[in-house]
Amino acid sequence: MSEIQTVGIVGAGTMGHGIAQVCALNGVSVVLVDISEAAVQKGLAAVTGSLERLLKKDKISAADKDAALARIQVGTDTAALQGAQLVIEAATENLELKIKILRQLDALLAPEAVVATNTSSISITQLAALSGRPERFIGMHFFNPVPMMALVELIRGLQTSDATHAAVQALALKLGKTPITVKNAPGFVVNRVLIPMINEAFFVLAEGLASAEDIDAGMKLGCNHPIGPLALADLIGLDVCLAVMNVFVSEFNDSKYRPCPLLKELVAAGRLGRKSGRGVYSY
């Protein structure tokens, strides 16, 4: 499989425009599409603003910024993706929507093109089976904010070919990322370890073993985490943490993944963290 030089991205939201920025800064041409002109322009404005901040901090030159923006083409018509060697689906975490997009892409793209999904929770094997090109389908899970976070999880479905994995791994390295290779399983690696840890922090809080502040201080100072698990839950969204735990319970059928009742209670109260102004902490 030849080196990937043109990447299509479906979805210009937080993840999509972040991936577009990283590609464009590293010499990869990008076609960024979304359902409305307003959405793509908002995504492009976010990339422009981010590049301007990097320029002010002397992380890039004015020429780098201009070259990166020149490599990004935006639009609302998926037909613009036709020439892409790789298309990354970065739409909302909704199975029906993803299936619809994957079917559109399969009809549009060259037979040798690769399709990747940035999903954080949906089975890669399942999506590959529905993609029309199972051997040329892979999970490419970036972390937020994409320009800052070094990690990319490359998730192989049961059907993903070695050539597909190698081509996408080479692209991740070209983008300055550190890829890790993961088999398909709920939560992949990072969320599989992280979200149960957050859930356990809620059990510790619910049992009154320590205050929220002390639990977070313990994990920051004792484990060198940059942010405590309860503050991180507020940042991620308590509803998101609960949803992931529910996926683990249903997929693994193992009681060790049961969500903490306090987490469920806070979500039921609408205390979802930073986005609602209150979670474990008030904002």
Per-residue pLDDT tens over the stretch 91-136: 988 899 999 999 999 999 999 999 999 998 899 999 999 999 999 9
Indicate the pTM of the whole model.
Answer: 0.92
The response to whether 251 counts as a known ligand-binding position is no
Q: Could you read off the pLDDT of 48-82 as tens digits, one per residue?
A: 999 999 999 999 999 999 999 999 999 999 999 99
8 A C-beta contact, residue 139 and residue 155:
yes
Instruction: Tell me what the pLDDT averaged over the chain comes to.
Output: 97
The SS3 call for residue 109 is: coil
In the block, residue with structure tokens 């040329």 = 136
The catalytic residue positions are: 120, 141, 153, 191
3-state secondary structure of 20: helix
Pair of tokens at residue 175: 């983008």
Model confidence pLDDT, tens digit, residues 179-204: 999 999 999 999 999 999 999 999 99
Residue 220 CB burial class (10 angstroms; 0-12, 13-18, ≥19): middle
Pure H helices in the chain = 14-25, 37-56, 62-70, 95-108, 124-131, 162-174, 190-206, 212-223, 229-236, 238-252, 261-268
> Does 93 show up as a binding residue in the annotation?
yes
Checking if the pLDDT of 90 tops 80, the result is yes
List of residues 6+ apart from 209 with CB closer than 8 A: 215
Positive or negative torsion for Cα 202, 278, 17, 46: negative
Distance of CA 71 to the CA centre of its chain: 22
The rounded distance, in Å, linking the Cα atoms of 263 and 32 is: 37
According to the model, what pLDDT value does residue 93 have? 86
Res. 45: pLDDT tops 80: yes
Q: Is 245 annotated as contributing to ligand binding?
A: no
For the chain, which domains are there? 6-183 (3.40.50.720), 192-275 (1.10.1040.10)
Sign of CA dihedral 122, 178, 101, 235: positive
